[in-house]
A and B are shown apart, each in its own frame.
Chain A
Amino acid sequence: DAKTTQPTSMDCAEGRAANLPCNHSTISGNEYVYWYRQIHSQGPQYIIHGLKNNETNEMASLIITEDRKSSTLILPHATLRDTAVYYCIVRVNFGNEKLTFGTGTRLTIIP
């Protein structure tokens, strides 16, 4: 799986949009971009994934650049409960089912 690079930590004011970047410059054509988060010491929570089109669900939006070398996870109206470590993971959807977690971005929402 391609390697990803994320900032170590970020702060965001409560109520504002949180934009979390991820670089995956070696991504191949059949690899998807997945986002998970881990709140404190709970189990990781799936957020969203995409291949090349932008995606939106009830939790977040995923913007993938046209060359697919980077992406941004957007939490539109951050709340204190969004404080967590966010992981960007690149994975082929068939043939390699394991998720390879990096160090992620520690997002802190400031009241």
Chain B
Amino acid sequence: NAGVMQNPRHLVRRRGQEARLRCSPMKGHSHVYWYRQLPEEGLKFMVYLQKENIIDESGMPKERFSAEFPKEGPSILRIQQVVRGDSAAYFCASSPDVGNEQYFGPGTRLTVT
């Protein structure tokens, strides 16, 4: 049973470009969570999605960031017009239902130059 998959593992973008981060949850999991870890800081919750629905986006920056989890395909975290401060590790987690433990992917390391 494959774990949570994230791609790309490393992403380099110039300031002003767009970054798209993909997350495929574990088989049978319909709940997806995105977290961000800035350099030398802790993990911070960004957004919680179920298929086709955003349930909790309380941790998402108000501008430039969006997330989706379509009926078919992976969850996408999209960052428009990236800035240097967006450089971080972005982790995706999934769970089979509410109230369950979350299983994390290996992360995508975004570097903005």
Contact residues of A: prevailing secondary structure: loop
Contacts of B107 in A (CB 8 A): 41-43
Binding site for B on A (CB under 8 A): 34, 38, 41-46, 49, 93-94, 97-104
Decide yes or no: A101 and B31 within 8 Å by CB, A43-B106, A94-B99 being known contacts.
Answer: no
Q: Is the CB of B48 within 8 A of A97?
A: yes
Residues of B at the A interface (CB closer than 8 Å) are 4, 31, 33, 35, 42-45, 48, 55-56, 58-59, 89, 91, 93, 95, 98-99, 101-107, 109
Q: List 23 interface pairs A-B (beta carbons < 8 Å), by A numbering.
A: A38-B43, A41-B109, A42-B106, A42-B107, A43-B93, A43-B104, A43-B105, A43-B106, A44-B104, A45-B104, A46-B102, A93-B98, A94-B98, A94-B99, A97-B56, A97-B99, A98-B45, A99-B33, A99-B45, A100-B45, A101-B43, A101-B44, A102-B42
